[in-house]
């Protein structure tokens, strides 16, 4: 199993990106995890670049406030199921200021919501990586998560 997190937005000197990178590094202890940044632009140009960057074997998860909210334990169960089912790769796609193009949501196997709130994409990135990390500590029986 490997993860790729595709996120729209330019590189910036932003403390949130530093936090996101620290969670990516932690998560990489459990599963190889790559962060792929895509330049922001029009919704159509972002879609084209994200689609170009997706790999054929990846299970695509669109991140969107209108998606399905899951508890941390549910996320952990989903990731555990993917491991048991030998899913080779998963791509989590985080849109920019205008969200994700409908074509990307249609292509995704699932759409997940981190919250019903509209979140800045950098904050959504931090929350996603932290929850993936937390879910893997649960799967390993490690003490990070306190129910």
| CA 95 – CA 89 distance, rounded (Å) | 19
CB 13 within 8 A of CB 122: no
Segment 26-43 mean pLDDT: 94
Note the CATH number of domain 2-139. Answer: 3.40.1280.10
Least confidently predicted of 18-22, 25-29, 35-39, 118-122 = 118-122
Return the pLDDT at 91. 98
Backbone angles phi, psi at 136, to 5 degrees: -70, -35
pTM of the model: 0.94
Q: Does residue 34 carry a pLDDT above 80?
A: yes
Return the pLDDT at 9. 84
Return the pLDDT at 12. 72
Return the number of other C-beta atoms located less than 10 Å from residue 112's C-beta: 20
- 44-102 pLDDT, tens digit each: 999 999 999 999 999 999 999 999 999 999 999 999 999 999 999 999 999 988 889 99
Give the start-to-end residue ranges of the domains of the chain.
2-139
Q: For the chain, give the mean pLDDT.
A: 93
Return the pLDDT at 146. 75
């Amino acid at each position: 199993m490997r993860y790729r997190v595709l996120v729209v937005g330019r590189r910036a000197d932003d403390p949130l990106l530093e936090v996101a990178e620290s969670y990516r590094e932690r998560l990489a202890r459990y599963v190889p995890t790559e962060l792929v940044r895509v330049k922001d632009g029009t919704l159509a140009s972002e879609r084209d670049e994200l689609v170009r960057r997706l790999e054929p074997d990846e299970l695509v998860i669109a991140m969107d406030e209108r998606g399905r909210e899951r508890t941390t334990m549910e996320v952990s169960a989903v990731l555990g199921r993917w491991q048991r089912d030998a899913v080779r790769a998963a791509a989590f796609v985080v849109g920019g200021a205008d969200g994700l193009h409908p074509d990307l949501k249609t292509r995704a196997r699932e759409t997940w919501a981190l919250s019903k709130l509209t979140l800045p994409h950098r904050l959504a990135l931090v929350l996603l990586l932290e929850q993936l990390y937390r879910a893997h500590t649960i799967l390993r029986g490690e003490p990070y998560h306190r129910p």
